């Protein structure tokens, strides 16, 4: 990531925190709903949220599930507030993907990617996905919250001339691999106005993908016959 992109993302993170400060944690939370569903299937013991703002969602998970919860956010203001409000969380200021190295060697039941892929520079996309994969347990889940768009697209970002907005199908960096498959998609309109709900530019989604064991992801087949084998031995 270029230094100017990192600086712009940090400034935008602080802007987002300031603008949404009063509403954070007070509205419907489809991401937490997915966490609750997963916890009912298999109790969640560890959660990492990338783009966690203050850590409000992680605190709900800690109280509800008893899980160990860690979070990364680029906004120093959001993390500072979160550390004061939720001292039992492991909250860190940093930039994804490079600062995911803070948890190198650890593994999590769930990794939440909280509405940040649309601003992630595309040259960092597969680096990001690789870090998420390295930190996720086998049979664990990635929950992604972002814009959903029927085509891959980019446009200028209205809040910064150093950044672009990227939209598409946000599970693609994972589901190209047989190890990941989509288990849930909750699409909802960005705006509540009925006249705009049919416009895909106003769609967001919470997607859940699962990481399979290699022995399940790849079907066992018989090896091909060698072209140099002795016919008499076959």
Alpha carbon distance 15, 186 (integer Å): 27
Mean of pLDDT values over 166-182: 95
pLDDT digits (tens, 9 = 90+) for 196-226: 667 767 788 999 999 999 999 999 899 888 7
Contacts 24+ apart (CB under 8 A), 222-230: none
Alpha carbon distance 146, 96 (integer Å): 16
126 touches 173 (CB < 8 A)? yes
Residue 70 lies in a domain: yes
Residue 225 lies in a domain: no
Mean of pLDDT values over 138-166: 90
Q: Which pLDDT score, from 0 to 100, does residue 143 have? A: 98
45: helix, strand or coil: coil
Q: Who wins on pLDDT, 157 or 125?
A: 125
Is the per-residue pLDDT at 10 higher than 60?
A: no
Largest CA distance in the chain: 80
Residue 223 lies in a domain: no
- Provide, rounded to the nearest whole percent, the portion of the chain with pLDDT above 90: 68
pLDDT digits (tens, 9 = 90+) for 39-87: 999 999 999 999 999 999 999 999 999 999 999 999 999 999 999 999 9
Q: CATH number of the domain that 92 lies in? A: 3.40.50.150
Mean of pLDDT values over 173-192: 89
pLDDT band at 160 (very low <50, low <70, confident <90, very high): confident
Residue 227 lies in a domain: no
Q: Which pLDDT score, from 0 to 100, does residue 196 have? A: 63
Residue 148 lies in a domain: yes
Q: Which pLDDT score, from 0 to 100, does residue 157 have? A: 85
Is the per-residue pLDDT at 191 higher than 80?
A: no
Residue 224 lies in a domain: no
Alpha carbon distance 78, 133 (integer Å): 26
Q: Which pLDDT score, from 0 to 100, does residue 27 have? A: 58
Q: Which domain holds residue 67?
A: 3-218
Q: Where are the alpha helices (DSSP H) in 168-228?
A: 172-175, 214-217
Residue 231 lies in a domain: no
pLDDT digits (tens, 9 = 90+) for 77-127: 999 999 999 999 999 999 999 999 999 999 999 999 988 999 999 999 999
Residue 230 lies in a domain: no
Q: How high is the mean pLDDT of the chain? A: 87
Regarding beta strands 90-93 and 68-73, do their DSSP bridges make them parallel or antiparallel, or are they unpaired?
parallel
pLDDT band at 23 (very low <50, low <70, confident <90, very high): very low
C-alpha of 56 from chain center: 16
Length of the chain: 234
Q: Which pLDDT score, from 0 to 100, does residue 161 have? A: 80
Is the per-residue pLDDT at 12 higher than 90?
A: no
CA-based torsion, 41, 208, 29, 49: positive or negative: positive
Q: How many domains does the chain have?
A: 1
Give burial (CB, 10 Å; 0-12/13-18/19+) of 177: middle
């Amino acid at each position: 990531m270029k230094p100017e992109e990192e600086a712009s993302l940090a400034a935008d993170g602080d802007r987002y925190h300031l603008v949404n400060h009063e509403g954070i944690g007070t509205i419907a939370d489809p991401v937490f709903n997915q966490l609750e569903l997963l916890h009912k299937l298999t109790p969640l013991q560890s959660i990492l949220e990338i783009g966690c703002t203050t850590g409000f969602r992680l605190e709900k998970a800690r109280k509800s599930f008893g899980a160990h919860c860690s979070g990364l956010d680029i906004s120093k203001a959001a993390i500072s507030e979160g550390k004061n409000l939720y001292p039992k969380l492991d909250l860190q200021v940093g930039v994804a993907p490079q600062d995911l190295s803070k948890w190198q060697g650890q593994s999590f039941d769930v990794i939440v990617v909280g509405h940040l892929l649309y601003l992630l520079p595309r040259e960092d996309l597969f680096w990001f996905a690789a870090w998420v994969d390295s930190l996720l347990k086998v049979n664990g889940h990635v929950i992604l919250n972002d814009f959903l768009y029927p085509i891959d697209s980019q446009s200028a970002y209205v809040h910064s001339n150093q950044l672009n907005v990227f939209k598409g199908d946000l599970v693609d960096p994972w589901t190209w691999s047989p190890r990941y498959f989509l288990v849930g998609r909750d699409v909802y309109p960005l705006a509540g106005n009925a006249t705009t709900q049919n416009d895909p530019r106003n769609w967001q989604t919470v997607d859940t993908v699962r990481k399979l064991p290699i022995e399940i992801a790849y079907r066992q087949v018989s090896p091909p016959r060698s072209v140099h084998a002795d016919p008499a031995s076959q």
